[in-house]
Amino acid sequence: MDARLESPWRRALRVIPGGVNSPVRSFAAVGGEPFLVESARGARLRTADGRELLDCVCSWGPLILGHAHPAVLAAVEEALGKGTTYGAPTPGETDLAEMITGAIPSVEQIRLTSSGTEAAMSAIRLARAFTGRTRVVKFAGCYHGHSDGLLVTAGSGAATFGVPDSAGVPAAFARETVPLPYNDTGAAEALMRREGDSVACVIVEPVAGNMGVVPPRPGFLEGLRALTLAHGALLVFDEVITGFRLCYGGAQRLYGVTPDLTVLGKIIGGGLPMGAFGGRREIMRLLAPGGPVYQAGTLSGNPLAVAAGIATLSILSSGKAYPVLEAGAARLAEGLARGCAAAGIPCSVSRAGSLLTLFFRPGPVHDWGSARRSDLALYGRFFHAMLERGVFLPPSQFEAIFLSAAHTDRDIDLILSASREALESEAPTAARPRGGD
């Protein structure tokens, strides 16, 4: 068949595994075929078939200012006019590093990478070198990228596709990673009592965002800090999602807990590929070329991504966006909960700043075990009902809704109106309002 006569999606399926270059972009968890995006601006996407959708995914978090923000576009265009990559240092890399270290006191030095996966992998290698130990503690449902040693009870895409331990990962790699229940300080205490002298680091999303949004219970992060200090292990915060999302400085500033190493991504690249890891100078000095820990990347610190990141952080540094984001997300969370209650549908809405998840299950969600007891079939139907009404939600129960500064009060109204209609169509018969006599 002439490829020009195929649908865009069929063409993609023929030459790209599953038709997508990242599994969470598919609709495997909710059914159906994903749309293709042609363009986007502000809080809206335009699909290849001409539909306009209100976007509640925001490229999975980087677009905190919305799509095609004028200041970000201008910065990238200026950088593009000078070239795309040099394989040599640029002043912008230092400028961005100074902005990040100035905003996050625990990060005295930082190394830029091209992705969050690369940054998390490198941070763990660095922690092993610094401590002379090999074991890594992570938490079930937390996702730290797709490097071999971290695909153990991972959330997000791995959970969506039922492959928490990916094929192709040697068992020996997985044995070096110890998974524990998120928000369970007792389990962490027991593990560290038994094996603390072999643990190089504890890595955690300070607010879990890859089993759906799950905030830390009071004392959980503080407990991890105390345990790692007591046993000579490093505490690594994966703030790829939360960094500069919850406030200027990230979750560690919001919760007042200081890690040894921090992993960043998404927002610091302003919508272009970017990751980073950083921490105390005594740890970071072990990185090549000054130290024995090798880490490199041809496009690390790419001038276009650096320019987009600087423009984004410059706007966020005023702090003005955060109250707007907080208010909009709070109103959305409350409205979704009211809509479920009115329809007689059990739900739990979990939120941290401008991140939130509507779980279709009764009672609060506090870990991966409670998240995965959600009604996935109901979420799939709700997703498609919202899409029919022009609202693009994450195509998985185990992902976060992301709001941006481009979402207006009217946009929140539209999302809530669409959700009420979608939820009413799912309401149990007894809960549905009766018509007039």
- Quick: pLDDT tens for 311-351: 999 999 999 999 999 999 999 999 999 999 999 999 999 99
Q: Judge whether residue 25 has pLDDT over 60.
A: yes
| C-alpha triplet 37, 43, 46: angle, nearest 5° | 25
pLDDT at 7: 82
Contact yes or no for 356/327 (Cβ under 8 A): no
Closest of 84, 140, 150, 88 to residue 119, by C-alpha: 150
Segment 211-234 shows an average pLDDT of 98
Radius of gyration, CA atoms only, the chain: 22
- Rounded Cα distance, 249 and 317, in Å: 9
| Residue numbers annotated as active site | 143, 238, 266
Handedness of CA 428, 431, 433, 435 (dihedral sign): positive
Write out pLDDT tens, residues 265-290.
999 999 999 999 999 999 999 999 99
Amino acid identity for residue 334 in this structure: E
pLDDT at 4: 58
- Rounded Cα distance, 295 and 119, in Å: 10
Backbone angles phi, psi at 301, to 5 degrees: 70, 30
pLDDT band (50, 70, 90) for residue 437? very low
pLDDT at 435: 39
Mean pLDDT taken over the chain: 92
pLDDT at 432: 44
Tell me the three-class secondary structure of the chain, residue by residue: CCHHHCCHHHHHHHHCHHHCCCHHHCCCCCCCCCCCEEEEEECEEEECCCCEEEECCHHHCCCCCCECCHHHHHHHHHHHCCCCCCCCCCHHHHHHHHHHHHHCCCCCEEEEECCHHHHHHHHHHHHHHHHCCCEEEEECCCCCCCCHHHCCCCCHHHHHCCCCCCCCCCHHHHHCEEEECCCCHHHHHHHHHHHHHHEEEEEECCCECCCCCECCCCCHHHHHHHHHHHHCCEEEEECCCCCCCCCCCCHHHHHCCCCCEEEEEHHHHCCCCCEEEEECHHHHCCECCCCCECCCCCCCCCHHHHHHHHHHHHHHCCCCHHHHHHHHHHHHHHHHHHHHHHHCCCCEEEEECCEEEEECCCCCCCCHHHHCCCCHHHHHHHHHHHHHCCEECCCCCCCCEECCCCCCHHHHHHHHHHHHHHHHCCCCHHHCCCCCC
Q: Judge whether residue 122 has pLDDT over 80.
A: yes
Contact yes or no for 90/301 (Cβ under 8 A): yes
Predicted TM-score (pTM) of this structure: 0.92
pLDDT at 146: 74
pLDDT at 6: 76
3-state SS, residue 321: helix
Contact yes or no for 422/342 (Cβ under 8 A): no
Write out pLDDT tens, residues 356-393.
999 999 999 999 999 999 999 999 999 999 999 999 99
List the beta bridge partners of residue 348: 359
Write out pLDDT tens, residues 127-182.
999 999 999 999 999 999 876 667 665 544 444 333 345 676 777 777 788 999 99
- Report the share of the chain in percent with pLDDT over 70: 91
